[in-house]
A and B are shown apart, each in its own frame.
Chain A
Amino acid sequence: MTQPGKLQLDPATVRQARSLAEKVGKPIVELAQQHTTVAVERATLRLAGLEGADADGIPWVNRLLDCVRADLGLEHGVALPVWDALVRGEADDLPTLAQKASAGSVRFRLPEGKEATRAKAASRKQVAAGVRRIDVRRAERDKLIKKHGDAPRKPWIYLIVATGDIYEDIPQAQQAAREGADIIAVIRSTGQSLLDYVPEGATREGFAGTYATQENFRLMRAALDESSKELGRYVRLTNYASGLCMPEIAALAGMERLDMMLNDSMYGILFRDINPIRTFVDQRLSRQIHARAGIIINTGEDNYLTTADAVEAAHTVTTSQLLNEYFAKEAGLEDWQLGLGHAFEIDPAVPDSFRLELAHAMLARDLFPDAPLKWMPPTRHMTGDVFRGYLLDGFFNLVGALTGQGILLVGMMTEAVVTPWLSDRDLALQNVRYVMDSAGKLHEDFRPEPDGFIANRARQVLGESIDLLDRIVDHENGLLDAIADGTFGLMKRPANAGRGLDGVAKKSETYYNPASEILEVES
């Protein structure tokens, strides 16, 4: 554990930054509470146990929701009409109801009075069973960690597999675990974040990655359970919630005992042109589910630095971390679940680039002393000169060691050349081990000069981040306007445009959602 506070940041300034983040975030939370989305409603059906897909591969949750929507719209939610139909005896269970509704033989209605009460109770009972399944999975994780032991040291070493074929991914993931990975991330197929449904079943074809499906989650988790047993340490599994199906994928991850999920508050908006309101509504339920499942989220601040200059845009990372923290805690996540992201992406040709990197990483560490920060390796300035890249990765690891990062994504010297070879991974892990074994405790001796370059740079970035939060607050509609006018990077994303907007509805007076009711954190 590093001792927090090496930069001796002014506590009043830090409080100001957090209270500004809250001021920015609060109206967004209220907006999220007033709306629902197709993904939120489908996640509710998934928690209630509806699985599978029709002959064309369209998931039953999509089919059923579409039928309800055609009859009554989205604004009342799916729970009242669906469980009203079940209570009325239109079908014995959800799968049968979904089939009958798709065939056009069920009409949905909005129950009132006693009938509404009965439908609510029935839906709550069934969704609670899904939430219980998540609880059981969480307890199971705790038990397995106790039984096999946890990762032996921090940072946890994070390696990636991405073949597109789950049955190829499995042996690769097991091999990576043997080589020392504490966390396996299965990279998702390009573009899955823009699918408004979750594909079904085990998949063997993807584009630069493997589809996130419930069955793929289950297969990979089972394989890593074997590896955990073999290696005598619990190997964690990561996937991606971001995109148009955040809460659904979060539900599946919780039910299949994934351990970490990529879940960023603004990534989908800025980098995938997903409608802002859709994202914020989806994100809130997804994070409530992660909180319940004991899943550690990984946020996506590294993406800011791959599109903008890493020195000029350093404060956007801090700002985003503060917002991600606010939204996460509001949704019930605790500090140990906040894998806030940042990255080593400063051009090595910039004078003092290493000191700047160290200042930025130390700022993140001091601002979020109890969060397991996620440290992302250089990608932009990896050129194909593998020798130079290896040195850059070594310096990246050194910053990681000096700032007590919780999660270290292992940098590959062949970044931008090939997908990592066996030998690339081995060399990369040697690099990490050498740095950690030789300098892992250097932070005990290292204090930046209180008025030196590093401390001053950190204060400057925090100051710029406060200015940016101030500017966001000054917008008439706060964060939504700031996103719309391109305050974050180059992308202008207005609240009335973007993908998935047609899947958003303002909740009606009679709206009911048992999942939200169960998962809402009492404050």
Chain B
Amino acid sequence: MSEEQNHIIRPYGDTTGDGMVQLSFTLPMPHSKVAEGAAAQLANKMGMDPALVVHAKPMGPDFTFFVVYGRVNHLVDTSKVEVVERDYPLLSPKEANLAIRKGLRRRLTVVGACIGTDAHTVGIDAIMNIKGFAGEKGLEYYRELKVVNLGAQVSVPQLVERARQEKADAVLVSQVVTQRDAHILNTREMSAAFRESYPAAKRPLLIVGGPRFDETMSEELGVDRVFSRGTTPGEVASFLVHRLVEKRAS
């Protein structure tokens, strides 16, 4: 077999090169011969030929569920696969705790708040509360993180002062309300205040998050990282470890 052929592959059912796949889906129509034909047609259009509709089950009067097996004619070229790598590894809580314990030899302190008039603590709570978000536990769950959640409507001077008191390694700010670009203005005010009151080398890591932020804006906002909609606590914890533990160690 030549080099080239090695990275051209097909799905494997029970024989090399058979190209067999399985598929399940629902069509919004009552079960009938036509419905089964429609399922086969969809499978054909997806590149399955022949397509075997092995199971069709009515779900109520208006829907039918199908399981289809068949051979796909597509080839996959593994040399042409492109993946976007996150620039830091995703850690489990256990791994994050271990990294902090080994690398920092103390707990890592995170102070979080919603600043300005924003009363929506949903974002900061999803990340910080032990309850967490999207099936992941929040930062409070991490034994090696000391989490101080200041809640809503915290002023920038209050936040700076508390960060100093707690000797915060990182400050997390959530902004949900975006009227008149409040989230942008508040964030800039916050990052400027931290720059003013800390020498550059001592400043805590500044992280801002919210559903309407653009993740590429960190420089413009003067923060170290911007997280957008759908960010999970694990991603934030992994980033903290990456920037505060691993970089320090190396």
Asked if B122 contacts A490 (CB within 8 A), the reply is no
Q: A491 within 8 Å of B by Cβ?
A: yes
Q: Is A190 an interface residue (CB 8 A)?
A: yes
Contact A194 B24 (CB under 8 A): no
B25, B60, B131 — most chain A CB neighbours (10 Å) = B131
A416 and chain B: residue at smallest CB distance? B135
Note all chain A residues with C-beta closer than 8 A to B135. Answer: 379, 415-416
Q: Which residues of A contact B24 (CB under 8 A)?
A: 423
Question: In the bound complex, how far is the Cα of B167 from the Cα of A423, in angstroms?
Answer: 51
Inter-chain contacts of A422 with B (CB < 8 A) = 26, 59, 63
**0/1 string, A412-433, CB within 8 A of B gives 1:** 0001100001110011000000
Q: How many residues of B contact A (CB 8 A)?
A: 24
Cβ A191 vs Cβ B126 within 8 A: yes
Nearest to B66 among chain A residues (CB) is A423
Q: With the chains together, A272 CA to B138 CA distance in Å?
A: 11
Cβ contact within 8 Å between A194 and B60? no
Can you report 19 residue pairs joining A to B where beta carbons are below 8 Å apart?
A189-B122, A190-B125, A190-B126, A191-B121, A191-B125, A271-B129, A271-B131, A273-B149, A307-B130, A379-B135, A415-B135, A422-B59, A423-B26, A423-B63, A426-B65, A427-B65, A490-B130, A491-B130, A491-B140
B65 lies within 8 A of A307 (CB): no
**Structural contact, B143 and A490, CB atoms closer than 8 A:** yes
Residues facing A in B84-128 (CB within 8 A) are 120-122, 125-126
A428 → chain B closest CB, angstroms: 12
Interface-central residue, A179, A421, A423, by most chain B CB under 10 Å: A423
Chain A residue with minimal CB distance to B25? A423
Interface residue from B57, B59, B141, B149 paired with A490 (Cβ < 8 Å): B141
For A175, list chain B residues within 8 Å (CB).
60
In the A-B complex, the 4 residue pairs with the closest CB atoms: A191-B122, A426-B59, A423-B65, A423-B26
Cβ–Cβ contact B151 & A271, under 8 A: no
- Say which residue of A190, A416, A421 sits within 8 Å of B26 (CB atoms): A421
The verdict on A307 contacting B122 (CB below 8 Å), with A422-B26, A499-B151 known, is no
Q: Is A178 an interface residue (CB 8 A)?
A: yes
Minimum distance in angstroms from A293 CB to a CB of chain B:
27
Q: Which residues of A contact B65 (CB under 8 A)?
A: 423, 426-427
Asked if B133 lies at the interface with its beta carbon under 8 angstroms from chain A, I say yes
Contact of A307 among B25, B60, B63, B141 (CB under 8 A): B141
Question: Nearest Cβ in chain A — how far from B214, in angstroms?
Answer: 20
- Within 8 Å of chain B (Cβ to Cβ): is A207? yes
Residues of chain B lying within 8 A (CB to CB) of residue A499: 151
Given A426-B59, A491-B140, are A273 and B26 also a contact pair (CB < 8 Å)? no
Interface residues of B in 1-57 (CB under 8 A from A): 24-26, 57
Q: Tell me which of A179, A190, A423, A427 contacts B122 (CB under 8 A).
A: A190
Kindly state the separation between the CA atoms of A194 and B133 in the bound complex, as whole angstroms: 15
User: What's the least CB distance linking A262 to chain B, in Å?
Assistant: 13
Tell whether, in the assembled complex, residue A273 and residue B129 are in contact, meaning their CB atoms are under 8 Å apart: yes
- Residues in A with CB closer than 8 Å to B225 are none
Minimum Cβ distance to chain B for residue A191 (Å): 4
A175's nearest neighbour on chain B, judged by CB, is: B60
Interface residues of B in 61-85 (CB under 8 A from A): 63, 65
Interface size for A (C-beta < 8 A) is 27
A227 CB to closest chain B CB (Å) equals 14
Q: A residues within 8 Å of B by Cβ?
A: 175, 178-179, 189-191, 194, 207-208, 270-273, 303, 306-307, 379, 415-416, 421-423, 426-427, 490-491, 499
A207 adjacent to B122 (CB under 8 Å): yes
How far in angstroms is the closest Cβ of chain B from A379?
7
Query: In whole Å, how far is A302's beta carbon from the nearest beta carbon of chain B?
Result: 12
Contacts of B59 in A (CB 8 A): 179, 422-423, 426
B137 at the interface (CB under 8 A from A): yes
> What distance in Å separates the Cβ of B193 from its nearest Cβ neighbour in chain A?
25
Q: For residue A426, which residues in chain B have a CB less than 8 angstroms away from its CB?
A: 57, 59, 65
Which residues of B have CB within 8 Å of A208? Answer: 133
Instruction: Chain B residues near A490: list those with CB within 8 A.
Output: 130, 140-141, 143
CB pair A179 B126 closer than 8 Å: no
- In the bound complex, do residue B26 and residue A194 qualify as a contact, i.e. CB atoms below 8 Å apart? no
* Residues of chain B contacted by A491 (CB below 8 angstroms): 130, 140
- What is the chain A residue whose CB lies nearest that of B140? A491
State A499–B121 Cα separation when bound (angstroms). Answer: 12
Neighbouring B residues of A191 by C-beta, 8 Å: 120-122, 125-126
A306 to B141, CA, bound (A): 11
CA–CA, A270 to B122, complex, Å?
Answer: 17
* Distance (whole angstroms) from the CB of B133 to the closest CB of chain A: 7
- The residue on B at minimum CB distance from A491 is B130
On whether the beta carbons of A272 and B131 are closer than 8 Å, the reply is yes
Tell me which residues across on chain A come within 8 A of B125, comparing CB atoms: 190-191, 194
Q: A191-B126, A272-B129 are in contact. List 15 more A-B contacts (CB 8 A).
A: A175-B60, A191-B121, A270-B130, A271-B130, A273-B129, A303-B131, A415-B135, A422-B26, A423-B24, A423-B25, A423-B26, A423-B63, A423-B65, A426-B59, A490-B140
Report B-chain residues with C-beta under 8 Å of the C-beta of A272. Answer: 129, 131
User: A472 to chain B: closest CB distance in Å?
Assistant: 20
Residue among A189, A190, A270, A427 with the highest chain B CB neighbour number at 10 A:
A190
Q: Once bound together, how far apart are the Cα atoms of A416 and B136, in whole Å?
A: 10
Chain A residue nearest to B211 (CB atoms) is A207
Q: How far is the CA of A190 from the CA of B211 in the complex (A)?
A: 14
Chain A residues within 8 Å of B151, by CB = 499
CA distance A353 to B151 in the complex (A): 40
Q: How far does the alpha carbon of A208 sit from the alpha carbon of B131 in the complex, in Å?
A: 14
Q: How far is the CB of B230 from chain A (nearest CB, A)?
A: 11
- B124-166, CB < 8 A from A: 125-126, 129-131, 133, 135, 137, 140-141, 143, 149, 151
